[in-house]
Amino acid sequence: MTDQPHRAARVEARLHGVLEDTLLGRGWVPRVVPHVGYGTTTWVRVLARVLLAPPGGPRPDREGPGVPSDLRGWRRFVSTSAVGEPVTVTVDGRAHEVTSDRDGYVDVQVPASLEPGWHRVAMRTGDAPEASASVRVVGPGTRLGLVSDIDDTVIVTMLPRPLVAFRNAFLLRESARTPVPGMAELYAEVGRAHPDVFVAYLSTGAWNTAGALARFLHHHGYPPGPLLLTDWGPTPTGWFRSGAEHKHAQLRRLLAELPDLAWLLVGDDGQHDPTIYADVAAEHPDRVAGIAIRELSLGEQVVGHGTAVARDETPAGPAAGLEVRAPDGFGLRDALRERGLLP
């Protein structure tokens, strides 16, 4: 046994170090790319990434509603992170000094005293222009949270098929992607029934696509909320990251950080969301208000996976009485109404 990172991670770190030194030698400078965060009236979780950018170049995309940029996807993947870069995070008038991690990410929880609702957090590194991110502060009276998957739940991606995944991630503009019918209407219905609902989007997609996904969600009328994404490539323990582990970890973190909320968990049956959500319901039976699973059609299964996929069976235990399934958001809305989870 050893505490040394996996060989793949060490190779990646060496290659990244060479590239970073080369770009810094050519005058490139670190800049902060902010992401939407969340918190309570006593703390906020700040999310961002520090990337290298050419001097005098355009500022990095700001994630959040109203961002006008609609660049083709491949440009978002041609980026180099700045590792170990000091970042000043200013929240509620107090400055906090943090450092970007081995992939350039900033993911920190800092104390704050903020009213419920939306606020701005300022971030700066070096002499780069100040960036700011939105953070949703969940008030003590909020009782419902909604966690939504993204791929094939709110956006038609059919991600497992390599060529389709490449086309969607690298070539298509966000405005050319297709929303899943009825899902925005479902979330609007939840918002009318629970005006202070806290919404978070949980996906195994790469952080590089965060700005594009935020623009897509805003364009199609989905409620704003933090995106909890992951990254591609090696980890300190292996060649590839586990999407299931990422979802489990983030769900458990949300439940621990926001203990007063019950959760409506929304996903699809193409990438094991039913099993993941059932596990969470078994671990925390009093914290899951409902589970809504969008069923992929046979055509979507064949196009996305090359063949029909084996569906996760309707779970036993606590999840059995919580789960509803339908092929689109309209059907899920009706099923949730029948279960009494929507008026």
pLDDT at 242: 61
Q: What is the pLDDT of residue 23?
A: 53
Considering the segment(s) 144-338 as one domain, its CATH architecture is: 3-Layer(aba) Sandwich (3.40)
CA distance 226 to 165: 23
Residues 6+ apart with CB under 8 A from 93: none
**Residue 45, strand partner residues:** 38, 109
pLDDT of residue 173: 62
Is 288:142 a contact under the CB 8 Å cutoff? no
CATH topology of domain 7-137: Immunoglobulin-like (2.60.40)
Buried b (16+ CB within 10 A) or exposed e, 160-174: bbeeeeeebbeeeeb
Query: Strands 131-137, 117-124: parallel, antiparallel or unpaired by DSSP?
Result: antiparallel
Cβ 10 vs Cβ 240: under 8 Å: no
CB atoms within 10 A of CB 301: 20
pLDDT (tens, 9 = 90+) of the chain, 343 residues, equals 445 554 545 555 566 565 555 655 666 788 898 999 999 999 999 999 998 877 765 554 444 433 333 334 434 444 678 888 999 999 999 999 999 998 889 999 999 999 999 999 999 998 888 999 999 999 999 999 999 999 889 998 755 545 544 555 555 566 667 899 999 999 999 999 999 999 999 998 888 788 888 888 999 999 999 999 987 655 554 444 567 899 999 999 999 999 999 999 999 988 789 999 999 999 999 999 999 999 997 766 655 555 555 555 556 677 778 999 999 999 999 999 999 989 8
For residue 15, give both structure tokens: 């290659």
What integer pLDDT is reported at residue 63 of this predicted model?
Answer: 43
Query: Where along the chain do its domains lie?
Result: 7-137, 144-338
Give the pLDDT score at 53.
78
The pTM for the full model equals: 0.84
